[in-house]
Amino acid sequence: GQQVMQIPQYQHVQEGEDFTTYCNSSTTLSNIQWYKQRPGGHPVFLIQLVKSGEVKKQKRLTFQFGEAKKNSSLHITATQTTDVGTYFCAGPWGYQKVTFGTGTKLQVIP
């Protein structure tokens, strides 16, 4: 079955440093979504990527969808303590089972 892996599993950064998490799928994805889950909370939608090579930005967050639509990345510039949480990629959304990635837990040291 489809597998979605994320690396790294954990990342500790000093506040102000950049952070990147990578998502790799064993199969081609028609689309992918990114979610953030705060400790003790539920996943909250961040963005959806659909097109090959797509890049989207939300303030300090930059999302990329690979050309082959099998990988994706999330980059955070100048992390803040509010960025703490676990970031998941998930896909494909549509008439199919949705698989969540293994997640990257981000800790920001003030």
Partner 1 sequence: DTGVSQNPRHKITKRGQNVTFRCDPISEHNRLYWYRQTLGQGPEFLTYFQNEAQLEKSRLLSDRFSAERPKGSFSTLEIQRTEQGDSAMYLCASSLALQGLDTEAFFGQGTRLTVV
Give me the residues that bind partner 1 (CB under 8 A), please. Answer: 1, 31, 33, 42-45, 48, 50, 88, 90, 93-103
- Which is closer to partner 1, CB of 62 or CB of 93? 93
Nearer to partner 1, 32 or 76 (CB): 32
Tell me the β-bridge partners of 106: 11, 85
* The three-state (H, E, C) secondary structure of 78-94, written as one string: CCCHHHCEEEEEEECCC
In the structure encoding, which two tokens stand for residue 10, read together? 């954990």
- Closest CB 77 distance from partner 1, rounded Å: 23
For residue 80, give the nearest of 103, 110, 104 by alpha carbon: 110
Q: What is the CB neighbour count within 10 angstroms for residue 110? A: 7
Identity of the residue, 23 or 108, whose beta carbon is nearer to partner 1 in the bound complex: 23
Residue 87 CB, shortest distance to partner 1, in Å, is 10
Report, in Å, the least distance between residue 110 CB and partner 1: 24
